[in-house]
Amino acid sequence: MSREHILHRVRTAIGRSAGQPVADPPPVRLRIPDVPLAIRISIMLSRIEVLAGKAMRSDDPLAVVAAAIEGKTAIASNAPFLRELGITTLPGVRTCITDRAELRDLCATCDVGITSADYALADTGSLVLLSSPQEARMISLLPPAHIAIVPKERILTGLDELFTVLPDPASQTSSMVLITGPSRTADIEQILVRGVHGPGQITVIIV
């Protein structure tokens, strides 16, 4: 079957003819529900729990993280928010790593990766991380456990609001990662396995 014949069949199926210009895309339709912050936080916490993650609201995240990483090795991102909270000064926490090879080696061998998040989406319990020198994506992907500490003001209702706040992510980052619960796959025999291509444990602390 020739290339032109295949293209002709495709055009016919979608009601177009050869040489016809591509129609303008439909207008963007974003709907942002009016959800108070307290309810957004409650929804976010419940969604994470449903996804088999751990979630909590805390006024003392330093104590929570200290207890979670006691006796373990951890690497923290360079996010200013973590530094402000004192997370980067905890025993066993490495941070301010700028060499990519060293960062990769540490992420591959430590127990816990600690990050903040640029945004969080309440309706799906997702974390949004924009890859940058402040938030290297390896820290949230390679260690077997991930702790994310998120200011409550960064919790959005969902994707529609995210793309209103951030209409062109590619202009700000080379990679935008949405993390929705622990890593999981059921590709092999429909059996759910966690931690195959990312952390098997995720803890979200809302400050």
- What's the pLDDT at 48? 95
156: domain range?
29-181+191-206
Q: Which two tokens stand for residue 136?
A: 């290297």
Q: What percent of the chain stands above pLDDT 90?
A: 67
Residue 139, in any domain of the structure: yes
- Asked whether residue 163 is assigned to any structural domain, the reply reads yes
Q: What is the count of structural domains for the chain?
A: 1
Report if residue 52 sits inside a domain: yes
Q: Do strands 119-121 and 155-156 pair parallel, antiparallel, or not at all (unpaired)?
A: parallel
188 pLDDT higher than 80? no
Task: Report the mean per-residue pLDDT for the chain.
Answer: 91
Structure tokens given for 145: 């456990």
Whether residue 57 lies inside any domain: the answer is yes
Task: Write the CA distances from 164 to 21, 38, 48, integer angstroms.
Answer: 29, 21, 23
- Look at 185 and 169; give whichever has higher pLDDT: 169
Is 115 a residue whose pLDDT tops 80?
yes
> How far apart are the C-alpha atoms of 179 and 171, rounded to whole Å?
21
Q: Is residue 6 part of a domain?
A: no
Q: How far apart are CA 200 and CA 27, in angstroms?
A: 39
Provide the pairing of β-strand 74-76 with 126-130. Answer: unpaired
Q: How confident is the model at residue 186 (pLDDT cuts 50, 70, 90)?
A: low
* pLDDT (0 to 100) of residue 142: 92
How many whole angstroms separate alpha carbon 129 and alpha carbon 146? Answer: 13
Give the mean pLDDT of 31-56. 94
The rounded distance, in Å, linking the Cα atoms of 152 and 81 is: 12
Cα–Cα distances (Å) from 103 to 99, 151, 199, in that order, read: 6, 25, 17
Q: What per-residue confidence (pLDDT) applies to 193?
A: 65
175, two tokens: 């990679």
- Taking 90 as the threshold, does the pLDDT of residue 25 lie above it? no
The residue with tokens 């702790």 is 147
Domain holding 98: CATH number?
3.40.50.10420
7 located within any domain: no
**Is the residue at 131 inside a domain?**
yes
pLDDT on residue 194: 66
Residue where the block lists tokens 């456990």: 145
Burial of 144 (0-12, 13-18, 19+ CB in 10 A): middle
* 172/116 Cα distance (integer angstroms): 17
Q: Which residue has the higher pLDDT, 52 or 22?
A: 52
Average pLDDT over residues 171-199: 78
